[in-house]
Amino acid sequence: MNSSSSRPSRVFNNPFVHNLKFTMGEKIKIGLMSVTVFPVRLLLVSFLMLLAWPFAFTASLGRSDFVLEPQSWWRRFVDLCLRVIMRAMWFCGGFHWIKVKGERAPPSEVPIITVAPHSTYFDAIPVTMTMCSIVTKLESRSIPVWGTLISYIRPVFVFRSDQESRRKTVEEIKRRARSGGEWPQIMIFPEGTCTNRSGLILFKAGAFIPGLPVQPVVLRYPNKLDTVSWTWQGPGAFKILWLTLCQPHNSMEIEYLPIYTPSKEEKENPALFANNVRKLMAKALDLPLTDLSFDDREISLSQGPLRIFDCSSLLEFNQLVCRLGLRAGMRDKDLEEQARRARKLQGERLSVDDFAQFLNQPVTDTLTQVHSLFDQRGDGQIDVRLYVIALSTVHRPLESMESLRLAFKMYESEEDRYVLEEDLAAILEIMLGVKEVELSGLFLVMDQPDAEKITYDELHRFIEQHPRLVQDVLDFKNHPRKHCCVRRPSRNGENKDD
């Protein structure tokens, strides 16, 4: 697949991965803390969280989710008690002092606070210090004890997999933001997911759609050992809690940046508004910008014997098809239907106009970019089967064998269900995100009686027996195996590999 941008590949620092490595001294310290300080801290943290629950539960009784009633004296007292209890809880967890830079603007001036990077559940510290509302997933409400505390701060709930719920969430953010400071400030983590703080991923537009001033807030955890990062691949929630409570002290910095007032162009273009705020926050953090989003996480974390080797071109493709709306609500049976239609074309190459007709889409710049990704010969014609393979790969990156099966259904002959070697090479180039796949080594290892063609069942059985197929058997441009060996002359004049 052709790529027109320098999107991240496997060699970049994946923001969705957190690997922890300990020295022997750190292991000994954690072992000692685990049997001494950790049980005491865990007991105190649990006690204080349970102590906060009846206050939050009582204050939430009879309160509307949509109408803001005047704050009575006893609710103000409960609010103060909760702030004290929660600060004591964080203190017992090792966050003894929290450095705060800058000043928080009042709700009447800034209805929305944007916070980044979002990397851990300890990011709740600034929320409990300010009692701002947050945008959170609907499932959070059902978490025992903590769900009641979340409900107390009047959050905006969103059901991520429901497009209608997302629309209602945006409308609720706009309604509260335009209340003139009547509602509490909304604290939004625009990345939409937790990362390892190696860079700022793309911001979601929700906080910027109202087109009102926002106050950016940056978080730092300047600890020597990063035990707080909790992302998609790495230590689990309890392990993060255990390791963090085993640290003598956990440092945290909260910095309120100056209010950012959008220009007329930014008000009309929330994506531009979001990106400019992201650049400002990245500069304050001295972090790079990473053109990945929440929707890209599975592509960058693909697993299995046919996992994506270089995700750069597929990430670009995914961004484009999402912009076209071709992934919203997609189901496996939709992919099967597209594969059936692509097979009927029998490899017929399509121009941009034909491709637009195949997708039932108008010809736009974005669709032309998608088309150009598969223009391998540079003649303005593509094999639409490659597009379907790429779509299946980004739609279900954790189910590579299903994408391979779908590809075989489009390419295999009706008589003997074989796929030719050159077609298999094209399939694997798309699925792995690589170029110039060479399969002679694969057929040599398989000892195929009928070389240069293969069935899905034969390849499937071989992959089950060789889960390191990509690393050990396949060959392609820039394969890391090519850089692992250096050749030097032997004493008899022949070259040998080291």
Q: What is the pLDDT of residues 164-177, one digit of tens each?
A: 777 788 888 888 88
272 with 383, same domain?
Answer: no
Output the average pLDDT for the chain.
Answer: 88
Q: Looking at residue 218, what DSSP letter applies?
A: E
233 with 340, same domain?
Answer: no
130 with 233, same domain?
Answer: yes
74 with 194, same domain?
Answer: yes
- Whether residue 12 is contained in a domain is answered as no
Window from 80-89, 98-107, 109-118, 323-332 with minimum mean pLDDT: 323-332
The span from the CA of 332 to the CA of 346, in Å, is: 22
- Whether residue 451 is contained in a domain is answered as no
- For residue 395, pLDDT over 80 is answered with yes
CATH number of the domain that residue 98 is part of: 3.40.1130
The b/e string for 275-294 (b: 16+ C-beta within 10 A; e otherwise) is: bbbbebbbebbebeebbbbb
- For residue 282, pLDDT over 60 is answered with yes
Contact 278, 290 (CB under 8 A): no
- Whether residue 10 is contained in a domain is answered as no
381 with 275, same domain?
Answer: no
pLDDT in the model for residue 275: 95
pLDDT in tens, 114-139: 999 999 999 999 999 999 999 888 77
The vertex-256 CA angle with 253 and 257, nearest 5°, equals: 125
216 with 324, same domain?
Answer: no
336: Cβ contacts below 8 Å, ≥ 6 apart:
406
- Whether residue 129 is contained in a domain is answered as yes
The span from the CA of 282 to the CA of 294, in Å, is: 18
The span from the CA of 310 to the CA of 312, in Å, is: 6
118 with 236, same domain?
Answer: yes
pLDDT in the model for residue 494: 41
285 with 399, same domain?
Answer: no
357 with 249, same domain?
Answer: no
What average pLDDT does range 467-480 have in this prediction? 82
Tell which of 238, 261, 291 closes a domain: 291
In the beta sheet, which residues pair with residue 454?
Answer: 419
What average pLDDT does range 390-409 have in this prediction? 93
36 with 156, same domain?
Answer: yes
Could you tell me the pLDDT band of residue 4, with boundaries at 50, 70 and 90? Answer: low
Could you tell me the pLDDT band of residue 486, with boundaries at 50, 70 and 90? Answer: very low
115: Cβ contacts below 8 Å, ≥ 6 apart:
123, 126, 187, 188, 189, 190, 216, 217, 218, 219
Tell which of 418, 435, 452 closes a domain: 435
- Whether residue 356 is contained in a domain is answered as yes
Q: Looking at residue 206, what DSSP letter applies?
A: G
285 with 320, same domain?
Answer: no
Window from 122-126, 240-244, 471-475 with minimum mean pLDDT: 471-475
Give me the domain span that covers residue 230: 24-291
Contact 37, 405 (CB under 8 A): no
Could you tell me the pLDDT band of residue 157, with boundaries at 50, 70 and 90? Answer: confident
C-alpha closest to that of 186 among 105, 84, 293, 67: 105
pLDDT in the model for residue 448: 64
**C-alpha distance from residue 407 to each of 28, 81, 317, 390, 440 (Å):** 52, 61, 18, 10, 20
pLDDT in tens, 22-64: 999 999 999 999 999 999 999 999 999 999 999 999 888 877 7
Tell which of 388, 406, 435 closes a domain: 435
What's the total number of domains in the chain?
2
- Whether residue 14 is contained in a domain is answered as no
